[in-house]
Amino acid sequence: MISRYMSKYTCESLKRIDIKFLKNEGYLIKNTSKSGMIVWSSCGEETGRADIYVDALNHTLNISYYYRDPWIERTYVSSDILIISTPCHFGGQRYWLKCECERHVEILYAGGVKFKCRHCYDLTYYSQQEYTSKMFAALGKAWKKEEKFKEECSKMRVKFWKGKPTKRYRRWLEKLSQYEESEPIVLQQLEKLIRCLDATE
C-alpha cells in the first residue's frame, strides 16, 4: 500500500495536454479547425514539443510527437483524442479530454508512450507525495524509538530495589509514557492521510 502512494512520478513532473490551454489558445471555437504546436519546458529549457490539430467540428484532437525511452528507439507517435463537451448549469459548455479509460478529464499526462489521465499512470501531486514522505518518515522514527526502548529495558539488570523501581527504571518508564502518548497521534495522522488519498482515487 505504501508504494502506491509513493509513486515514481508526480503530475507536475510530466508533459501534459490541458483542455484549458486549448480553449485559451482558440482551438475549441465551434465548427472550426486549427493546427499548432505545444512546447514543454522546465527551468527555462525546452524538454519537448508536439504538433497538434484540433477539429472542433468532429470533436477530435490529433497530437503527433517523438517518444524517446531509455530502453527503446525514438518512436514517432500520432494519436487521436476525443474532446467531450457538457452543458454548464448557467449556460455555455465545459470541455473535457476523453482518456482511453473512458474518464473525462481536463489534463492528460505523458507517463508513457501515450497521453493518459493521472489515474491510468497512478500519479500523485507533488504536495501529496511530499506530505506522505514526511508522515512515513515520522512513523519510521516512532518504530525506531520503540526498538530503542526495548533494547534499553533488556540491558537493565536491576529494575527494582527493596520493592521499589530504581531511578534508572523510573526514568525509562517516564520516557516510555511520553512515547506512548505521542505514538497514537502519528498513527492517527497516517490513517487520516491514507483515507484522504483513497478518496482521490
Cell 493518459 appears where? 116
For the cut 60, the answer to whether the pLDDT of residue 140 exceeds it is yes
- Return the beta strands (E) in 33-178 as ranges: 33-42, 45-55, 60-69, 72-87, 93-98, 104-105, 107-109, 160-161, 164-165
Residue 124 and residue 5 in contact, taking contact as beta carbons nearer than 8 Å? yes
Give residue 12's pLDDT. Answer: 64
Query: pTM above the 0.95 mark?
Result: no
For the cut 50, the answer to whether the pLDDT of residue 17 exceeds it is yes
CA proximity to 94, closest of 84, 82, 102: 84
CA proximity to 137, closest of 94, 190, 77: 190
Mean pLDDT, range 16-30, rounded to an integer: 90
Range in 12-16, 85-89, 101-105 with the lowest mean pLDDT: 12-16
Residue 51 and residue 78 in contact, taking contact as beta carbons nearer than 8 Å? no
| CA–CA gap between residue 20 and residue 23 (Å, rounded) | 5
Higher-pLDDT residue of 93 and 145 is: 93
Sorted by sequence, the CB contacts under 8 Å of residue 175 that are 6+ apart come out as: 149
β-sheet bridge partners, residue 97: 83, 105
The count of C-alpha atoms lying within 13 angstroms of the C-alpha of 181, restricted to the half-sphere facing its C-beta, is 6
Residue 97 and residue 108 in contact, taking contact as beta carbons nearer than 8 Å? yes
| CA–CA gap between residue 123 and residue 137 (Å, rounded) | 21
For the cut 50, the answer to whether the pLDDT of residue 4 exceeds it is no
Give residue 184's pLDDT. Answer: 58
Q: Give the torsion sign (CA, 128, 130, 135, 136).
A: positive
| CA–CA gap between residue 175 and residue 64 (Å, rounded) | 63
Give residue 170's pLDDT. Answer: 82
